[in-house]
């Protein structure tokens, strides 16, 4: 959904070059309804410009900085040269994310979703998570809990979570640690089994976490955790090792967590 209002001076906007003249470049603003801006030749590139077409081309998607907005004359002055490569990449990515989020809204609430519903849902996600895309991303990771602070109804929450989990690619990080499990009592084998089950969470690990425990070489076991961020992953890794150590300790054994492998080869 495009904005019906006007951009503000200093804002970075995404546009498509529609026309090139000797004095400058006309750009359709892709994020605003029926809005077009002008890049004066002096704002295309630094230094003297012999031919504007040496720097831009018709149909090119560009990121520009808004210099001035004159609503009375319907004029928006833009600068192409004042946007560095880092700003360009970030703005393009944000624009692409907004397009994805707009599509997800259509999937969640139907192609004929009315403006009032769209605006209400969007404002709630922006208020709680800072953006429409970020709201869907958090819903994919945390489920309904991510929307608990919004005023959305249960049906709206369910629609967002279902759409998010089917369409959002969540970035994950992976951390690894190792635990040595030793028990010399008669119950040694059962003690290790109990400790490994405890390490894996006994089926109670959060849905946002993928935790796997594998055998390396007696008495060493690898704990591998995937989670949306390092803080969550590290916390889950340490909790897994603590559960294993506590479980084997109940059988008179001992456990020790370490980050690096102690055996020579796998």
Tracing tokens 């004066």 back to the chain, one arrives at 40
Does 264 have pLDDT greater than 60? no
Average pLDDT over residues 166-173: 84
Does 69 have pLDDT greater than 50? yes
- Residues 210 and 116: their CA atoms lie apart, in Å, by 38
- Residues 29 and 37: their CA atoms lie apart, in Å, by 7
- Sign, Cα dihedral of 190, 196, 198, 201: negative
Which are the contacts of 55, defined by CB distance < 8 A and separation ≥ 6?
44, 45, 49, 80
CATH, domain range 173-258: 3.30.70.1130
**Residue spans in the chain of domains classed CATH 1.10.150:** 87-167
Q: Domain 12-83 has what CATH class?
A: mainly beta
The tens digit of pLDDT for each residue in 93-132 reads 999 999 999 999 999 999 888 889 999 999 999 999 999 9
Average pLDDT over residues 216-224: 90
pLDDT of 266: 45
Alpha helices in the chain (DSSP H): 85-109, 115-129, 132-142, 154-167, 188-199, 230-249
Average pLDDT over residues 1-22: 89
The tens digit of pLDDT for each residue in 235-257 reads 999 999 999 999 999 889 999 99
Query: In terms of C-beta density within 10 A (0-12 exposed, 13-18 middle, 19 or more buried), how is residue 94 classed?
Result: middle
**Residue spans in the chain of domains classed CATH 2.40.50.140:** 12-83
Q: What value does the mean pLDDT of the chain take?
A: 90
Write down the number of H helices and E strands in the chain.
Answer: 6, 9
DSSP category for residue 231:
H
Contact 25, 60 (CB under 8 A): no
The tens digit of pLDDT for each residue in 25-42 reads 999 999 998 999 999 999
What fold characterizes domain 87-167? DNA polymerase; domain 1 (1.10.150)
Supply the pTM of this predicted model: 0.64
């Amino acid at each position: 959904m495009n904005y019906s209002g006007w951009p503000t001076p200093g804002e970075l906007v995404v546009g498509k070059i529609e026309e090139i003249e000797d004095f400058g470049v006309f750009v359709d603003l892709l994020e605003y309804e029926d809005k077009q801006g002008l890049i004066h030749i002096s704002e295309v590139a630094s230094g003297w410009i012999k031919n504007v077409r040496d720097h831009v081309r018709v149909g090119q998607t560009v990121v520009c900085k808004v210099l001035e907005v004159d609503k009375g004359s319907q004029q928006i002055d833009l600068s192409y040269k004042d946007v560095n490569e880092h700003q360009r990449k970030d703005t393009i990515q944000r624009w692409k994310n907004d397009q994805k989020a707009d599509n997800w809204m259509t999937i969640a609430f139907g192609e004929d979703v009315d403006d009032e519903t769209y605006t209400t849902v969007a404002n709630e996600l922006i208020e709680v998570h800072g953006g429409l895309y970020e709201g869907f991303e958090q819903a994919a990771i945390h489920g309904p809990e991510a929307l608990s602070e919004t005023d959305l109804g249960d049906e709206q929450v369910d629609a967002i979570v279902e759409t998010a989990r089917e369409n959002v690619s969540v970035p994950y990080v992976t951390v690894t640690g190792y635990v040595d499990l030793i028990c010399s009592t008669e119950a040694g084998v059962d003690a290790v089994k109990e400790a490994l089950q405890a390490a894996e969470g006994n089926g109670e690990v959060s849905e946002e976490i993928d935790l796997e425990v594998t055998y390396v070489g007696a008495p060493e076991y690898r704990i591998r955790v995937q989670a949306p961020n390092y803080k969550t992953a590290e916390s889950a890794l340490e909790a897994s090792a603590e559960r294993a150590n506590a479980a084997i300790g109940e059988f008179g054994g001992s456990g020790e967590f370490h980050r690096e492998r102690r055996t020579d080869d796998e």
